[in-house]
Structure 1
């Protein structure tokens, strides 16, 4: 069973990383860094999967917001509490907004649509999105790589296949729990009492 799972990670892991990075993606990028340290992924391949996933995901949301602004699904998102604040931020600080939007957990969809509804020119957005995606990919891949080094140090020597999978699973669960708790905590702080 472990050999089968390990083979699946080796064969389809980078595709899963790419798909994960199309969405929020921090967990996928950290896992990519971990498995890169363990020798399952090449550094360049892991970087390309995380970068392209992050870049294309944000570009699709931006273009979707711009192209489908009058559609009911987009209107439902723009009616959410706080969306006006996002529009004001992108209008006042478009460069900083695009560069930092991906770092606010749970804000990627709303933030991307707000950017799409703004007056930011498409070429400017794509350039800023590429810069942000580059930094984001390097940051989260590095975090995962450090986790890999730490796990190898803690468990002693080279990790066995089942240890890699278990540590990778633990990283995914931990990142999901921490980011979910942080989003919940920040959401509660922003709500009026």
Structure 2
């Protein structure tokens, strides 16, 4: 059983994500309100902590922002939201860490085109030590690589878990608390953006074009 989990960790993670999305879709369809937006809000209010935990496993700041807004409106408890989001972020990095620790062949095969990032992650770990576990959550393009690369080393699993947990709770608090505090101002901006969506269209096109260009450049680099 242990060998099966180790050899299929990537597929199991994909299966869990797929089941979660099916769960959300099913409950979104059955929500007893009209309109997609109202259904989504209903879903967040009803299963808020479950969604927040799962979203935090993938380390999505959008989930934390929604938690901050729901805490501001009174539909979530601020401290519980930080606690749950931190646990989700912790669980996500633990999955990545143990993927590297117990499934090295899968990592080398799956991330073959990202050897430079793994090399950089090892250099950062050797140079800065445990603080890199805190910093990696804010390093775009390295948030998955660093926990996996640490798992590939002989770094203590207990030490990583302890630092990772504190780091995850700090990450959750740093994101959720400002949104909760400035919730009213954020809601006003969101309402204005909803009513004047056409102003945001040029920015969305530029942002989307930048993402397409980025992945195009990355694909070219991998081919080389």
TM-score past 0.5 threshold: yes
Q: Using the alignment, how far apart are the partners of 2:112 and 2:134 within structure 1? A: 21
Give 1:78 shift.
5.1
Does structure 1 retain, via aligned residues, the 8 Å contact 2:101–2:152? yes
Structure 1 counterpart of 2:21? none
Structure 1 counterpart of 2:60? 25
What do residues 94-113 of structure 1 show as CA deviations (whole Å, max 9, x unaligned)? 21211211111232211111
User: In the alignment, which of 69, 94, 99 is matched to residue 64 of structure 1?
Assistant: 99
Does structure 1 retain, via aligned residues, the 8 Å contact 2:133–2:164? yes
- 2:118 aligned with 1:80: no
CA gap 1:131/1:144 in 2 versus in 1, 3 angstroms: same
Structure with greater Cα Rg = 2
Give 1:53 shift.
0.6
Does structure 2 retain, via aligned residues, the 8 Å contact 1:90–1:118? no
SS, match of residue 108 in structure 1: coil
Does structure 1 retain, via aligned residues, the 8 Å contact 2:64–2:172? yes
Show structure 2 runs of 5+ residues with no match: 1-33
Does structure 1 retain, via aligned residues, the 8 Å contact 2:53–2:88? yes
Does structure 1 retain, via aligned residues, the 8 Å contact 2:93–2:164? yes
SS, match of residue 75 in structure 2: coil
CA gap 1:5/1:99 in 2 versus in 1, 3 angstroms: closer
- 2:46 aligned with 1:11: yes
Structure 2 counterpart of 1:121? 156
Show structure 1 runs of 5+ residues with no match: 156-162
Please report the TM-score for the alignment, with normalisation by the length of structure 1. 0.74
User: In the alignment, which of 86, 90, 94 is matched to residue 125 of structure 2?
Assistant: 90
Of 91-100 and 107-116, more deviation after overlay is shown by 91-100
> Looking at both structures, which has the greater relative contact order when contacts are Cα pairs under 8 Å and sequence separation is at least 6?
1
Aligned-residue RMSD, C-alpha: 3.0
Q: Using the alignment, how far apart are the partners of 2:121 and 2:184 within structure 1? A: 39
Does structure 1 retain, via aligned residues, the 8 Å contact 2:90–2:164? yes
Q: Using the alignment, how far apart are the partners of 2:52 and 2:153 within structure 1? A: 30
Give 1:13 shift.
2.1
Give 1:54 shift.
0.4
Segments of 4+ moved more than 6 angstroms: none
Does structure 2 retain, via aligned residues, the 8 Å contact 1:87–1:115? yes
Give 1:81 shift.
4.3
Give 1:15 shift.
1.4
Size of the aligned set, in residue pairs, is 168
